[in-house]
């Protein structure tokens, strides 16, 4: 009699819909429940794609993490047996992203998974992006550097360099000056 090798079903990535703003809690609940029920073989990863953003308020930089896809948690799992039911009953979970409402969960295409995971890796490697609320033509006050105390008008925003070009009046003449985002604040 020949032995038959047991082939483990392959894990696929699924999207769990969560109440927006509660993604971290949902991730934590899923991980605790999977560990408690010893289902680690079936669920290997729970992921919230996030990006780091640097906000500048009152001249101070603050680092903040923002969900890249609000209301969604990615999960790598074999959805067999009770696992879909367990995940759906976790507080804050609305259900799985699928073709039909209340229908079976549809796994993500490999190309989508690679794109999202590549983006997540890229964002964790970068130092974060600066969230600017500046608009061209807006009046700003220089709060740091050699032009401290001067007022000016934003002429250009250079996101890639994290700088803005401001026209400042020096001795009655308009002079263009390149400043870091942290050196100015809105008037």
Extents of the domains making up the chain: 12-130, 133-186
Task: Return the structure tokens found at 187.
Answer: 């008037």
**Model confidence at 171: pLDDT above 60:** yes
Q: Contact, 179 vs 145, CB < 8 A?
A: yes
The residues facing 187 across adjacent strands are none
- Is residue 122 exposed (0-12), middle (13-18) or buried (19+ Cβ within 10 Å)? exposed
- pLDDT value at residue 125: 52
**Model confidence at 25: pLDDT above 90:** yes
Please give the CATH number for the structural domain made up of 133-186.
Answer: 2.30.30.30
Across the beta sheet with 50-57, the strand order is: 60-67, 50-57, 129-131
Distance separating alpha carbons of residues 36 and 32, to the nearest angstrom: 6
- pLDDT value at residue 7: 58
Query: Which range is least confidently modeled, 24-38, 98-112, 134-148, 151-165?
Result: 98-112
Looking only at the bridges linking them, the beta strands covering 72-77 and 43-47 are antiparallel
DSSP 108-171: PPHHHHHHHHHHHHHHHHS--EEE----TT-EEEE-SSTTTT-EEEEEEEETTTTEEEEEEEET
Distance separating alpha carbons of residues 159 and 181, to the nearest angstrom: 9
Give 12-130's CATH code, choosing from 2.40.10.220, 3.10.580.20, 3.30.70.940, 2.70.70.10: 3.30.70.940
What does the pLDDT look like over 125-168, one tens digit per residue? 554 555 567 788 888 888 877 788 888 898 988 877 778 899 98
Q: Contact, 18 vs 73, CB < 8 A?
A: yes
Q: Of 62 and 177, which is predicted with more confidence?
A: 177
Judge whether 12-130 and 133-186 match in fold. no
């Amino acid at each position: 009699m020949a032995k038959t090798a047991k082939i483990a079903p392959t894990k696929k990535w699924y999207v769990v819909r969560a109440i927006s703003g509660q993604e971290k809690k949902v991730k934590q609940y899923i991980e605790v429940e999977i560990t408690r029920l010893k289902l680690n073989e079936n669920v290997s990863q729970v992921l919230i794609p996030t990006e780091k953003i640097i906000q500048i308020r009152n001249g101070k930089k603050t680092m903040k993490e923002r969900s890249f896809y609000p209301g969604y948690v990615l999960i790598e799992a074999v959805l067999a047996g009770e696992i879909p039911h367990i995940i759906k009953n976790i507080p804050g979970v609305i259900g799985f992203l699928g073709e039909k409402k209340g229908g079976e969960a549809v796994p993500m295409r490999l190309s989508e998974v690679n794109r999202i995971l590549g983006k997540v890796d890229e964002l964790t490697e970068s130092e974060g992006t600066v969230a600017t609320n500046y608009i061209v033509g807006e009046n700003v006050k220089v709060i740091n550097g050699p032009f401290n105390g001067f007022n000016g008008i934003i002429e250009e925003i250079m996101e890639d360099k994290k700088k803005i070009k401001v026209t400042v009046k020096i001795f009655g003449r308009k002079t263009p000056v390149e400043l870091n985002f942290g050196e100015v604040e809105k008037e």
